[in-house]
Amino acid sequence: MANLGFVGLGVMGSGMVKRLLSAGHSVTGYNRTKSKAQRLLDAGMKWGETPRAVAQAAEITFSMVTNTEALRAIALGPDGVLAGLGSGKVFVDMSTVSPAASRDLAAQVAAKGAQMLDAPVSGSVSTLEEGKLSIMVGGDRSTFDRARPILEAIGPKVTHVGGNGLAVSMKIATNLSLAVQMLAFSEGVLLAEKSGISREIAVEVLLNSVIASPIVKYRGPFVLKMPAEAWFDVNMMQKDLLLALEMGRGLDVPLPTTAATNEMLTAARAMGFADKDFAVLFEALARMAGMKR
């Protein structure tokens, strides 16, 4: 069993730590707000006063934060993860951030004699709890082989996609489709509903049709009842779409459906839905269509 660290104990980070503890690993954790980590502390997690302290205590330190700026905040500076790394240690960032920023941080980690992997995930709170999360990993192959058994305690499908930064590139390419599919599903439901079919029946038919991808199956029901707590909110999804659009410009890849969906996320924010799960795209579109619950 490994001696691990984990920085960033939000909804997904907390769920990952639970799985690591259940697998028998020792975990030292840090979160900006300590009170949010109390259930994990009660479950046996140790506490690190700073990200640096977590990295000093662990063989492999994981992080799961909201964006590129948050990653830099927990990684850099005198109390950051980087300051606690040394020869033989591994830093695994599971956040969805700028690929260029991830590669830059990996170079700084290597200068400390340590190794970094970018390891974002595909899935949600429900897939994590069910043990069905898939993980993409970028970085040195031997470092990947070392971390793989631990990553498999978080999710059973772990794939090495190439060098540093390529896993976050793959994650961004994946996430743009989540939002696009949710918007297309919403369009179908609303078109059916406004033609005279009940919303509930339209959802049932679509969830049992050829368009029912995994994302549609687990988020489609949200058009009938949104979760009390966002699994992945509008701000977070729009952050990922903006990263995708930035990549598209740099690589000369047109992303027309991504651009249109990004505009709908802006509309959702303007309607006050920024902190709602991004499935609220349906409600934003419904208002534009003159539909009410």
Q: Find where tokens 């009842």 sit.
A: 225
Q: With a cut of 90, say whether residue 292 has pLDDT above it.
A: no
Q: With a cut of 70, say whether residue 77 has pLDDT above it.
A: yes
Please state which of the ranges 126-130, 175-179, 270-274 shows the lowest mean pLDDT.
Answer: 126-130
Active-site residue list: 171
Residues whose CB is less than 8 angstroms from the CB of residue 240 and which lie 6 or more positions away in sequence, other chains included: 96, 171, 172, 175, 176, 179
Work out the average pLDDT over 13-27: 95
Residues whose CB is less than 8 angstroms from the CB of residue 127 and which lie 6 or more positions away in sequence, other chains included: 133, 155, 218
- As a whole number of angstroms, the distance between CA 85 and CA 57 comes to 9
Work out the average pLDDT over 261-271: 98
Q: What is the pTM of this model?
A: 0.87
* pLDDT tens column, 92-113: 999 999 999 999 999 999 999 9
Indicate the pLDDT class of residue 126, thresholds 50, 70 and 90. Answer: confident
CA distances from 187 to 177, 180, 269 (A): 15, 11, 18
Domains and CATH numbers, the chain: 3-163 (3.40.50.720), 169-288 (1.10.1040.10)
Work out the average pLDDT over 4-11: 94
Q: Which tokens go with 181? A: 């599919």
Q: With a cut of 70, say whether residue 231 has pLDDT above it.
A: yes
Q: With a cut of 80, say whether residue 76 has pLDDT above it.
A: yes
What pLDDT is recorded for position 36? 87
